Amino acid sequence: MPVDSAVAIPALILEWYDRSARRLPWRAMPGAPPPDPYRVWLSEVMLQQTTVAAVGRYFADFTTRWPTVADLAAADDAEVMAAWAGLGYYARARNLLACARAVTAAGGRFPDDEAGLRALPGIGDYTAAAVAAIAFGRRAVVVDANVERVVARLFAIDAPLPGSRPAIRAACDTITPDNRAGDFAQAMMDIGATICTPRKPVCALCPVNRHCAGFRAGDPERWPVKAAKKARPLRRGTAFWVEVDGHVLLVRRPDKGMLGGMRALPSGPWSEADPGLADAPVAGNWQPIGQVAHVFTHFALDLAVVMGTSERDAADGEWWPVERIGEAGLPTLFAKAAALAQKSRKEERE
């Protein structure tokens, strides 16, 4: 890219951001003092693999219940996992607690540079760069999925993802300014979210369209180039709805592994073969009531749901009031299974 473009692009983007920045609860608007690093870090962790629209309610809930990093560090693990339910990628919640406790143990302040931030639990290159730039004003190259798309089109980077990511980051480095790096990063995110969208980008509104190789080519949707997706393997499992006197049996999943540390219905292993009733939590007559489907990052799951009854002392776990199941903080998969069971109960009564 010509030197004059490398100078003009950040200036044009920052001018656009001063006029058009999105108002988000974790963001300081242009010209305001930098936001609290805790709020920046929390929002960035929540936004990984999740949309801004989905995060808003969770961010408000977390910052109301735990307004400082010390408050979060002192929180009960189960309460945090329950508050996270529905956001997915539950390892993030476990890392959130580990990081909050590490920061609090070190005096309660986040490191102000990328190297120090990367040394904290659960903080990778992207989050370290984002917090360093947005909260501390450090020059850092911040590349999320939106920025990745903007840069791939701006420079017409033809190598397919994910192999092109080093080239995309290097290209972004050439246009990241020394000053206002945090505003620049957020401006690039906003352009990707509102203008340079995956489908039908609104190039006429883009502040740097005349510098964009993808726009000049007449087909910006060609970029970023994506490798062919591999089919997700299908696994099967069984969830058990065990009800006694208006209470349902819940268990705590192991800390490590899928949905670690979350409350859930008892469930057997998830494998390519149908496990059937081999891992039922109690002996009994099980009534099949249907199945729910869920897609994880690396596999799809068909989960059969069966219903039965038991004595309270016959099974290990937590007996939760059925009418308050929505307060249990079940992850989405088991919330679907619970909804199916409640529908079946209602139909039986009618």
Taking the alpha carbons at both ends of the chain, their separation in whole angstroms is 69
Measure the CA–CA gap between 17 and 190, rounded to whole angstroms: 8
In the numeric block, which tokens belong to residue 286? 């099980």
Within 8 A by CB and 6+ apart from 243, the residues are: 249, 307, 308, 309, 322, 345
Alpha helices in 159-297 (DSSP H): 165-175, 181-194, 213-217
Query: Taking the CB of residue 224, how many other CB atoms lie within 10 A of it?
Result: 24
Annotation says 327 is catalytic: no
Selecting among 15, 44, 243, 323, the annotated active-site residue is 44
Length of the chain counted residue by residue = 350
Q: What is the DSSP letter of 307?
A: E
Measure the CA–CA gap between 212 and 151, rounded to whole angstroms: 9
CB neighbour class for 275 (10 Å; exposed up to 12, middle 13-18, buried from 19): middle
Q: Which positions are annotated as active-site residues?
A: 44
